Amino acid sequence: MSYQPSPLRLQREEARRLASRRSTWLALLSTVVVGVILILVVTGSPGFARVRETFFSAHYAWKALPQVLSGLWLNLRVMLIAEIFVLIFGLLIALARTTKSPVLLPVRLLAAAYTDIFRGLPLLLVLLLVGLGIPGLQISWLPNSAVLLGTVSLVLTYSAYVAEVIRAGIEAVNPAQRMAARALGFTQTQTQRFVILPQALRKVTPPLLNDLVSLQKDSGLISVLGAIDAIRAAGIQTAQSFNFTPYLVAGALFVALTIPLTRFTDWLTRRQDRARQQQGQW
């Protein structure tokens, strides 16, 4: 017996097709309307000609590009190195905060104090304290490079955030998992390593990547210590010409750097949501 779709089904499908076509048109229309209004408001403003010249000058953009790019290369290296250390320290601090061993109470307290302090302190303040304070001590064997101290500040601040994200993941794993592992004879450490952490890290990958995106853009703040990164390079160009386009160039480059990671985070979140939906876990 071959299946013949009933007229009812065809009718329903036709109605659905119409509805979906209508929403496509509506979306298109509203986008065009909003776009046109925005363009009219901005270009019609009295100062538009001057703003365009100071912020969107193709000439200055082109001129500043090589310097800004070479500054960005520094940002890129700082980001990557900071990200590696942030993930390592964040994991260690999270583990320290979730241990139950009485011997490790001081470690647990220290870790708690650390996350409290560094999540509360503005990054700019940490940069100034570390970047200016440590060289100020004049201890000969301590480093005083702006790049190095800037990276240390980033690691200090972001490790605290990442530690909290990972800790949330560890605590979100069903306690029955721990019980099942212990019942099989796994030690605390083995349970953590083979059963709890793999699940915890999977759960928190999207917020973790989100923190890394934030770290990437904040790598631009090391310019306050005098490191010649993309923002500093743009600032130098601006100071020479009184044209702000180089800042915009730097900004565009930062966005370009973070977009792959943000897209990847979105994609991962959507995939996890779908998986959860399929299992009916809402």
Partner 1 sequence: MAGKILEIKNLRKSFGQDLVLADLSLTLPEHSVKVLIGASGSGKSTLLRCVNLLEAIDDGEIFLDGEDISAYGIDPDVVRSSIGSVFQSFNLFPHLSVLENITLAPRHVHGKSKMAATNEAMELLARFGLAEKADQYPDLLSGGQQQRVAILRAVINRPKVLLLDEVTSALDPILIAEVLSLISELKTAGMTMMIATHEMGFARQVADELLFLHNGRICEVGDPAILLESPKTPELQDFLAALRGAGRL
Residues in contact with partner 1 by CB under 8 A are 174, 176-177, 179-187, 190, 194-195, 198-199, 202, 279
Q: Which is nearer to partner 1, 58 or 176 (CB)?
A: 176
Tell which residue, 66, 82, 252, has the closest CA to residue 155: 82
Q: Which is nearer to partner 1, 173 or 236 (CB)?
A: 173
DSSP per position, 143-190: ---HHHHHHHHHHHHHHHHHHHHHHHHHHHS-HHHHHHHHHTT--HHH
Q: Which is nearer to partner 1, 46 or 185 (CB)?
A: 185
Alpha carbons 149 and 211: distance in angstroms, whole number: 20
Q: Which is nearer to partner 1, 74 or 181 (CB)?
A: 181
Q: Which is nearer to partner 1, 193 or 263 (CB)?
A: 193
In angstroms, give the least distance from the CB of 77 to partner 1.
33
In angstroms, give the least distance from the CB of 21 to partner 1.
37
Alpha carbons 241 and 147: distance in angstroms, whole number: 26
Count of other CB atoms within 10 angstroms of residue 42: 11
In angstroms, give the least distance from the CB of 178 to partner 1.
10
Q: Which is nearer to partner 1, 138 or 278 (CB)?
A: 278
In angstroms, give the least distance from the CB of 183 to partner 1.
4
Tell which residue, 231, 240, 215, 256, has the closest CA to residue 74: 231
93 CB-near residues (< 8 Å, 6+ apart): 111, 114, 115, 159, 160, 163
In angstroms, give the least distance from the CB of 252 to partner 1.
39
In angstroms, give the least distance from the CB of 274 to partner 1.
13
Phi, psi of 243 (to 5 degrees): -115, 130
